[in-house]
Structure 1
Amino acid sequence: MTTGPVRVAASTGWVEADGVVYVAALPDGPPLVLDGHGAVVWGAVVPGGSVDDVTARVAAAVGESVAVVGPDVARFVGSLVDAGVVTQG
């Protein structure tokens, strides 16, 4: 599980259109298409901060408690780290 500060990786490019976020680790990363809750998590990662900060932003955006969304947010942020579009530490 991802812990500590997270931020968009310096080599990441992204655009948002109609609630869908297209993200890629440049120059060779495959694009990720984030919609729905994935787009909400991305928007919460962009300002940076701890995973707890990101979780609090997501919880506020979707109207749920941190306890409810926390595990899923942490897993999803971990998958963004694994994809190379988000860094931690």
Structure 2
Amino acid sequence: MVLNLPGLLADHLATVGDETVRQTLASGRTIRRGQGHSLRITAPLNLHRTAPQQSAALAADTAGPAERKAYRVYATRIAAAE
């Protein structure tokens, strides 16, 4: 399954994600859009589901607005894919 991962979330997962997630991120393709970027990832749906779990800190109230939005956008894309 192919989904676009927001760049902010991808950068966070590159440092805190487990080895499987980091390998998947390394194989993704960067897509530039305006000021930001996305990472197009081809992976099984269960891997896409683990990424938000590993980046739950970005959904917390202490995270910035852009981080919370990136988390919500990706969670919505996963829910739509199911």
Fold match, TM over 0.5? no
Q: TM-score, normalised by structure 2?
A: 0.37
Q: By percentage of residues, which structure has more helix?
A: 2
Q: Which has the larger radius of gyration?
A: 1
Q: TM-score, normalised by structure 1?
A: 0.35
